[in-house]
Structure 1
Amino acid sequence: MNHLDTPTQETGPALDNGAGAPLPVPHVYRGRTVSGDAVMHVSRDLGKRFCTPAVELDNLVWSRTQAGPAFDLPIAQVIDFLVELGPRLHLDANPLMQQALESMIEVSPLGRRILENCYRDIPNLFARGVIEDELRVSLGDSSVIDGWMPRTLRGRPSRLRAFPPRLVHILAGNSPMVAAMTVMRAALTKGVHLLKLPSNDLFTATAILRTMAEIDAAHPLTQSFSAAYWRGGDENVESTLYRAQYFDKLVVWGGESAVRHAMRYAGPGLELVAFDPKVSISLIGREAFASEELLRQVARAGAADVQSFNQDACNASRYQFIEGNEDGADRYCEYLAAALGEDFRYGDGQGPVVPNDIREAVDVLREMEPFYRVFGGYDGKGLVVRSDERVDFHPICKTVNVVPVQSLRDATRFATVATQTVGIYPPQRAAEVRDALACAGVQRIVTLGESISDGVGGYPHDGMFPVHRFVKWVSEEAGDNSPSVSTR
């Protein structure tokens, strides 16, 4: 395969006016860290300059003529390695993670506090209980990934294996947890994995892989991962890499444009596994009005769901439907707008200001009271719009649309296949709407205020169990007990 050695300039936001040197972004090839400044780029969100070494294409693939490094590694040893990795990722003890955090602040809009909370929570994803639950629920019997598991169907013997895959992971950068979840799940498949770094998280994945190399650079798991950055859409790289001769599946996170771009390469032998862009909602029952103090508490739980990574995550609530009349909804909106101005673990009380297109749309709605009412402001501390029907703009930057409904059942008509998470208060009322929500396409139902979770440890993600989807299911049905074939 050819190397790409020609420096390029990525188009994107305005440069940072040359203030300071560009951030160095290393690549990791099977336990080997490679640094360099051959290619200059600009980050997507903050317009920060950064540089990378030239992409070594031949180090990003594994030959199909031989098994991957961990294909035959016992799954018990995989788990032991991941469990050892977890404590090594603690922020206070790991200079690589510390350096990654400081560099992330330069390219991520989340800010130091939220990023530090993420980094401190990453080791939890590698706890033994989490890993074992993820494997057990995804694959059932772990022996199915260690070898050819015998089984009998309708009296006919056969053997089944969850065969290790060859995957490209096109990562999203709206949360550092994406990189950590990917490494944990990918390792459980025992396959080979190329991580395509996003420009708003250039450092988390490589810090994890470099820590794996510090534990054992020659370990089969360490040898099973590579990570590199190239500009998304660079056909010089992607038209070469995204081929069935090298990989089985493209695993893509991100917005609609990222998913549609990856779809161009999917085809026979190269499957697409997509964590699609999603929208989440909240359903609030009339029980919230039992007292003003309870309503205030429920509004704070609703704000917690909005605040997921400053409303930049798929599980962040954007539309909230409350059982009651407009007067009751307005009281809830007042408390919600106030709660949005508070800090949460993964959300800032002072977030990004509301963009001009939403401001213009809301200014028009202000003129239409009492059909619409607006609470809060455009300063990034929280904006809430109460309306009888859902607004026609997409709420972002801590903007919430609250709609009063006669019943929670009525609110289910607003759920679609693009709805990921639904937070419900009180939680016992989930039983009356869960079937209708599932029919509409919803993938996750939680208690209001609990939309943020690690998403691993045996829970489905976007309507699937990722490890189950990542592996290649192969059936071997030959053998002495196969029925004879009649020649007559």
Structure 2
Amino acid sequence: MTQNVTLASIGSQTPASVAAPFIIRGRLVDAEQVHHKSRDLGMDFVTPEIDLDALISSRVEPGPLFDVKLDEILDFLAATGEAMKQDRSGYLADCVDKIALTNVLPRQQIEYQMQIAAEYLHKGRLLEYAERNLGNARLLDEWVPSTDSTGRRSFTRAFPPRLVHVLPGNAPVSAVQSIALASMVKAVNVFKMGSSDPFMAVAILRTMMDVDPDHPVLRSMSAVYWRGGDERVEQAIYRPQYFDKIVAWGGGDAISNVIKYLMPGLQLVSFDPKTSISLIGAEALVDDTTLEDVAARAAADVGMGNQEPCVSSRVLFVEGERARIDRFCDSLQRNLAERSALIGKAPPLPGELAEEIETLRMFDDEFGVWGAPDGNGLVVLSDGPADFHPIRKTANVVPVRSLKDALKYVNVATQTVGVYPPARIPELRDGLASGGAQRVVQLGDAGGQSIGAPHDAMYIMHRFVHWIVHEDGFEAGGFEAGKA
């Protein structure tokens, strides 16, 4: 077995493996018993054995948060955010060190995600999120009455669910959002961490332990790792007698693996693989100043997270003459390279893909290539979307006569569409929605987020909760009035 070496003991030397403890129902489990390997970088990490009896609670047992008021939950989340900013116990600093060993993201980007994770736990913004998602946050605390047009009265509540969260490994910040939303809906939760980041969720929960080790939010949380597809664990956990929904982020294989366990009573809330694009009108090419500005905006969308997140743009449809589009491609590549110098480059492209792109340079009538497949930024121009999937700061630019010609390439896997100029969004958004796109923004703002806005065509909290209604008949006239 590989000996575990702590980060503190080796300084800048790469350890043989790193420890990845668990949180089980609010308690730290720090044994080093099972060796795993991270997906992207092949780094060994060591976890405890999963104790299924400790992990799973019976439905007969109410969840720790079921009767806790939302206001108290938000206070605790906000206190956790402040504790994360101070990081007195060093959990987040240690987490950054470890993620840098298992994840393809540059260290600067991991550190930035830690900062925005702490900022996310803001009481006012979280309450605003709940109000926008549910229409009325009171639904989380009480049975809200209403009377329909026939006089029939009912009471509705957004009841706490039991959730398994399959977290993504490509965006550590997603852990804080999942923990916050799960807390607000008062769920009983198991977070399955990814092999590229088996650390972030635990670091947040350990920070919660410093704030209040016995708080109901913490006791409703478990964060563990098992290899996706491990039937010994998944056949035991993915059952409706224990959980209502599986909340799955990830690639096609991860989602397909979860789907096979679905059955009546066990639903899927899926954040499945998406691709984002850009639509750039001829207005962007009218002069060099505008072109440079638009290229910088496009580079921000393409280069975000080294193109690991679904929200990062991959295919850019551009109106205009070939000579001006070539000029745009050159500027886009330079801007990507400048971003790499500031926040770190991506890993080089895989060998076969790099060779395929290098071959395209010989076909300059059909293709154009700017940059190199070294992770600093690459632009490939082609008459239609390329056969390969652009990754690691690779932009595929496709000339079109009209932006409306690009609508035929939009489908249900199209997540975010960045548009320039913004004035053209109204003429395009209905067609984009009809094709299946889920979000339209100004070019350069793909990484922004309106508080409580839909994500992947759904209101997340609305999908999380267990909606239950108590129908109380008619206010006047009784049952016979209803029959009439």
Tell me which interval the TM-score lies in, with the shorter structure as reference length: over 0.9
2:152–2:474 Cα contact (<8 Å) kept: no
Give deviations 1:363-405, integer Å, cap 9, x for gaps: 3432322221111112222211112211111111211111111
- 1:467 corresponds in structure 2 to 461
Identity level (%): 43
The aligned amino acid for 1:184 is A
- 2:44 corresponds in structure 1 to 49
1:393 maps to which of 361, 377, 388: 388
Distance in 1 (CA, whole Å) between partners of 2:87 and 2:30 is 25
Q: Structure 1 residues 91, 80: closer, same or farther in 2, change over 3 A? A: closer
The aligned amino acid for 1:142 is A
1:159–1:475 Cα contact (<8 Å) kept: yes
Q: Structure 1 residues 397, 479: closer, same or farther in 2, change over 3 A? A: same
Distance in 1 (CA, whole Å) between partners of 2:363 and 2:202 is 51
1:163–1:474 Cα contact (<8 Å) kept: yes
**SS of aligned partner of 1:340:** helix
TM-aligned CA deviation for residue 480 of structure 1: 7.3
Distance in 2 (CA, whole Å) between partners of 1:211 and 1:486 is 55
- Give yes or no for the alignment of 1:447 onto 2:438: no
The aligned amino acid for 2:228 is G
Give deviations 1:156-193, integer Å, cap 9, x for gaps: 00111101000000001101111011011111101111
TM-aligned CA deviation for residue 452 of structure 1: 1.1
1:181–1:456 Cα contact (<8 Å) kept: no
Distance in 1 (CA, whole Å) between partners of 2:115 and 2:122 is 13
Instruction: After superposing the two structures, state which structure 1 stretch, 385-394 or 473-482, moved more.
Output: 473-482
TM-aligned CA deviation for residue 131 of structure 1: 0.2
- 2:115 corresponds in structure 1 to 120
1:332 maps to which of 328, 332, 346: 328
Q: Structure 1 residues 32, 424: closer, same or farther in 2, change over 3 A? A: same
Distance in 2 (CA, whole Å) between partners of 1:219 and 1:253 is 27
TM-aligned CA deviation for residue 146 of structure 1: 0.7
The aligned amino acid for 2:396 is N
- 1:261 corresponds in structure 2 to 257
Distance in 1 (CA, whole Å) between partners of 2:313 and 2:482 is 62
TM-aligned CA deviation for residue 111 of structure 1: 2.3
C-alpha RMSD of the superposition: 2.1
The runs of at least 4 aligned residues of structure 1 exceeding 3 Å deviation read 18-21, 91-94, 478-482, 484-487
The aligned amino acid for 1:468 is H
1:130–1:456 Cα contact (<8 Å) kept: no
Give deviations 1:319-377, integer Å, cap 9, x for gaps: 001111211111100101111102269x8453211222322332343232222111111
Distance in 2 (CA, whole Å) between partners of 1:263 and 1:485 is 46
Unaligned runs of 5+ in 2: 3-12
2:106–2:344 Cα contact (<8 Å) kept: no
Instruction: After superposing the two structures, state which structure 1 stretch, 77-86 or 233-242, moved more.
Output: 77-86
The aligned amino acid for 2:371 is G
- 1:229 corresponds in structure 2 to 225
- 2:144 corresponds in structure 1 to 149
State the TM-score, normalized to the length of structure 1.
0.92
State the TM-score, normalized to the length of structure 2.
0.93
- 1:368 corresponds in structure 2 to 363
- Give yes or no for the alignment of 1:355 onto 2:355: no
Q: Structure 1 residues 304, 94: closer, same or farther in 2, change over 3 A? A: farther
1:177 maps to which of 151, 173, 184: 173
- Following superposition of structure 1 onto structure 2, how do residues 80-229 of structure 1 map, counting pairs within 5 Å? 80-90=75-85, 93-154=88-149, 155-229=151-225
**SS of aligned partner of 1:483:** helix
TM-aligned CA deviation for residue 485 of structure 1: 10
1:304–1:344 Cα contact (<8 Å) kept: no
Distance in 2 (CA, whole Å) between partners of 1:350 and 1:251 is 31
Distance in 2 (CA, whole Å) between partners of 1:349 and 1:95 is 24
1:417–1:440 Cα contact (<8 Å) kept: yes
- 1:294 corresponds in structure 2 to 290
2:270 maps to which of 262, 271, 274: 274
TM-aligned CA deviation for residue 197 of structure 1: 1.0
Distance in 2 (CA, whole Å) between partners of 1:209 and 1:224 is 11
Unaligned runs of 5+ in 1: 1-6, 9-17
The aligned amino acid for 2:202 is T
Distance in 2 (CA, whole Å) between partners of 1:421 and 1:327 is 28
Give deviations 1:32-54, integer Å, cap 9, x for gaps: 10111111111111111111111
**SS of aligned partner of 1:245:** coil
Q: Structure 1 residues 202, 429: closer, same or farther in 2, change over 3 A? A: same
TM-aligned CA deviation for residue 478 of structure 1: 3.8
- Give yes or no for the alignment of 1:477 onto 2:476: no
Q: Structure 1 residues 106, 363: closer, same or farther in 2, change over 3 A? A: closer
Distance in 2 (CA, whole Å) between partners of 1:475 and 1:120 is 40
TM-aligned CA deviation for residue 273 of structure 1: 0.5
2:399 maps to which of 395, 398, 404: 404
Q: Structure 1 residues 20, 102: closer, same or farther in 2, change over 3 A? A: closer
Distance in 2 (CA, whole Å) between partners of 1:411 and 1:182 is 34
**SS of aligned partner of 1:333:** helix
1:329–1:403 Cα contact (<8 Å) kept: no
- Following superposition of structure 1 onto structure 2, how do residues 56-95 of structure 1 map, counting pairs within 5 Å? 56-90=51-85, 93-95=88-90
